[in-house]
Structure 1
Amino acid sequence: MIIEQFLRQVKLGNHIIGVASGAGSTAKYAEQGGADFLLALNAGKFRQMGRSSLAAFLPFCNSNQMVLEFAFKEIKPVIKKIPVFFGLNATDPTINLENYIEQLKELHFEGINNFPTVGLIDGQYREALEEMGYSYDLEVEAIRIAHEKDLFTVAFVFDETQAKAMLLAGADIICIHLGFTAGGMLGAKKVLSLEVAKSKVQNILAVCDAIRPNVIKMIYGGPVKMPVDVQYMYSDTKLMGYIGGSSFERIPSEKSIVNITRAFKITGTLSEDDLMVKMLEGITKHYDYVHFLRRKLAVLFQSTW
């Protein structure tokens, strides 16, 4: 069982790592890097389109249809060893939760996660959604249904009350969501400090320990975007792992693509003293490549002694 595999990792002293992906390529590389599971989220697809994760909360398309399209065609076919959990928009008025979750099971998704989530919305808009019945309670119901159907469940929670509800619904993982991830070109500009985030995490962990001490406890997002940030959150807490989206597929690619493009752009303007440039130029002028390489290697070794 999935839960047993994860708990085995914890007993060995390892942390559980989940990656929220929006494309087959990043999903495949995450699996190769040792990820324990994948979340197929609409925010991931928007990131692949060069848009902020915030686009996941605007009416650009039907979230469940989008996730089903790329997760079933791109991610499931290339992932062989780890489970893929479907990011379910439980407030979608066009679906019957019970029937839709059954369909996901028939399509061999190993579990679900409540995303997009009302938990990331506040103010008058949140109040209006709840008045119309589009509340966090529907996400709790989705987790309960999936649990009863023996699907694995990853619950995003934002406060102690939500954590309690998800624990009672049978969530396998309680993931404390700290908001959109900071950093990079598309990241959130205003997030909690690590200190405030850790205090919030401790409060929610206390609820978990009181109700179901053995539940898997993880964190996601906010100011936690680098391994050193995660290490800070792990220290003196009972956290068992980390889930990231932008941290794995947006921020690293932003840096690497920008840097490699700049490197290619300046090619041809390198110093004439660069040994490799001289060697490449010399190859085009010499027909006796063996003699040429011997001479260049001799020069190289003389310069290093």
Structure 2
Amino acid sequence: MAQRIAREEIFRRLAGVRSRGEPILGAGASAGIIAKCAEIGGADLLIIYSTGKSRLMGLPTSRIGDSNAITQAMLDEISNVTKTIPLIAGVEATDPTRLDLSRLLDRFIEHDISGVINFPTILMMPGYADKREMVGLGFSREVEMIRVARSKDLFTLAYVFDAEQAKRVADAGCDCICAHVGVTKGGLVSVKDDRPLRELAASVQGIIEGARSVAPDILCLAHGGGFSAPEDTRALYELTDAEGFVGASSIERIPIERAVVDVVKAFKAVPLHMRGQQGAAQ
């Protein structure tokens, strides 16, 4: 069963990954079987998002229900079947029913988490985010959540969409930013995104430079857009200073879609030879 892993130990492990010339991989996992397989496959971090529930329902990635409560229930399922991998919880800091961020994070700590990430993030809804900022429930709450989590010695990740956001979370003490370049392309519920990888890489690099202008040693990963398959990340690492990748749909949706379709086709392709029919023919 998974146990909380100290922030310093996570840093030690990730330093080892980088020293071997490997990318850091954060794997989105919303069910025990996915988490278990991701750990066996060598993921460095397991990231548990409430939105993963929609992916497992065959839907486009969507926020459904009480995000924080759903994520906590997922954590119980996932910690039951994983062993040594750090569990990173997606925390909805802008939840108006949980205004005490310290208390909210304590509830997550009870579920053996080792770190947090600001997801669902209000940054996915730019216009709405500006309006919510007026009542104290915008991106500033997510930045404060990172600050409070850091004070509790949790490993902190943050999704950011531009350099200024990256600077703000870096200033709050964030350990690792993830440059988000849009909804993941590909699979059965894919979005249309024709941006070339070189353009996405330029966005990622700008975000990284913003973060490192405040915190030179901050870890920097990327997520989304056309970076949806392992071969896509080759361009990410060639064109940017990203040290790894976070996959959600790329790990727990698209590969499952392909695997199930392929295995069903394979079972159906095996010819049927019925013994009774063979005897009658003779």
Where do 1:242-257 residues align within 5 Å?
Answer: 242-257=245-260
- In the alignment, structure 1 residue 122 sits paired with structure 2 residue 126: yes
**Which residue number corresponds to residue 292 of structure 1?**
none
Q: In 1, distance between residues paired with 2:26 and 2:111?
A: 21
Where do 1:245-284 residues align within 5 Å?
Answer: 245-268=248-271
Listed one character per residue, the Cα deviations across residues 24-76 of structure 1 (whole Å, up to 9, x for unaligned) are: 100100000000010100121211111111x22xxx4110011111222x101
Aligned-pair Cα RMSD in Å:
1.8
Q: In 2, distance between residues paired with 1:28 and 1:120?
A: 29
Q: 1:189 aligns with which of 169, 188, 192?
A: 192
**Which residue number corresponds to residue 207 of structure 1?**
210
**Which residue number corresponds to residue 102 of structure 2?**
98
TM-score by length of 2: 0.90
Q: In 2, distance between residues paired with 1:127 and 1:215?
A: 27
- In the alignment, structure 1 residue 235 sits paired with structure 2 residue 238: yes
3-state SS of paired residue (1:235): helix
The answer (yes or no) to whether the contact 2:205–2:242 under 8 Å persists in 1 is no
Listed one character per residue, the Cα deviations across residues 171-194 of structure 1 (whole Å, up to 9, x for unaligned) are: 111110111101001122236431
3-state SS of paired residue (1:109): coil
**Which residue number corresponds to residue 112 of structure 1?**
116
Q: Tell me the percent identity.
A: 37
Q: In 2, distance between residues paired with 1:87 and 1:33?
A: 22
The answer (yes or no) to whether the contact 1:155–1:174 under 8 Å persists in 2 is yes
Listed one character per residue, the Cα deviations across residues 152-207 of structure 1 (whole Å, up to 9, x for unaligned) are: 11111111111001101111111101111010011222364312211111111212
- In the alignment, structure 1 residue 16 sits paired with structure 2 residue 24: yes
Q: Cα distance 1:186–1:232, how it changes in 2: closer, same or farther (>3 A)?
A: same
* CA drift at 1:121: 1.1
Q: 1:44 aligns with which of 52, 58, 61?
A: 52
Hey, which bits of structure 1, 4+ residues long, moved more than 4 A?
none
Q: 1:31 aligns with which of 31, 39, 44?
A: 39
**Bigger relative contact order (CA 8 A; separation at least 6):** 2
* Amino acid of the structure 1 residue aligned with 2:22: N
Q: Cα distance 1:42–1:213, how it changes in 2: closer, same or farther (>3 A)?
A: same
Listed one character per residue, the Cα deviations across residues 125-177 of structure 1 (whole Å, up to 9, x for unaligned) are: 33333333320110001010000100011111111111001101111111101
Q: 2:226 aligns with which of 223, 226, 232?
A: 223
Structure 1: gaps of 5 or more residues: 270-276, 286-305
3-state SS of paired residue (2:85): coil
Higher share in helix = 1
Query: Mean Cα displacement is larger for which, 155-164 or 202-211?
Result: 202-211
Q: In 1, distance between residues paired with 2:255 and 2:228?
A: 11
**Which residue number corresponds to residue 66 of structure 1?**
70
Q: In 2, distance between residues paired with 1:144 and 1:192?
A: 34
Structure 2: gaps of 5 or more residues: 1-8
* Amino acid of the structure 1 residue aligned with 2:125: I
Q: In 2, distance between residues paired with 1:94 and 1:178?
A: 29
